[in-house]
Amino acid sequence: MTATNAISGQGVGGVGPSTTPAIALREGIRTAEVSSFAYSLPGKPHQPRRITTEKTDSTNAEIILAWYPLTDTGGVPLTGYKLYAYHVLTQTTALAYDGTNKPETLQADIKLLKLDNDY
């Protein structure tokens, strides 16, 4: 599970915008104005917890996961959560839930999980 903010986007943080020095001439007096600030990556989310697991047909299942809201957003508003499913047999990771632009959503229904597979 990852949390993204406006700066991290795909989970990569960075430095926020800064203002380049501006020099203005006022009646022979030079003034310079500089301002800058930095952002950080959002903190690590808590481990999601399973709410329910249900067999949907003879080969598939779904699981509902929930999580607590992130408290450390790196200094900017949270833009959402993404959950990834790691398939043990194939050793592949796939996006299972994309909550981009839904930071208030704290639960996801993960569908089409194959029965008798480890995730």
* pLDDT one-digit tens code per residue, 19-41: 444 444 455 555 555 555 557 77
**Would the pTM count as exceeding 0.85?**
no
Q: How many CB atoms lie within 10 A of CB 20?
A: 8
Q: Quickly tell me which residue has 């990556």 as its tokens.
A: 41
Residue ranges in the chain assigned as alpha helix (H): none
Nearest-angstrom CA–CA distance, 117 and 96: 15
Q: Are 83 and 97 in contact (CB under 8 A)?
A: yes
Please state the domain extents for the chain.
2-7+42-114
* pLDDT one-digit tens code per residue, 58-89: 999 999 999 999 888 888 888 899 999 999 99
- What is the pLDDT, as a whole number, of residue 78? 86
Nearest-angstrom CA–CA distance, 94 and 103: 20
Q: Using DSSP, state whether 18 is helix, strand or coil.
A: strand
Amino acid in the structure at residue 115: L
Which CATH number is associated with domain 2-7+42-114? 2.60.40
Calculate what percentage of the chain has a pLDDT beyond 70. Answer: 67
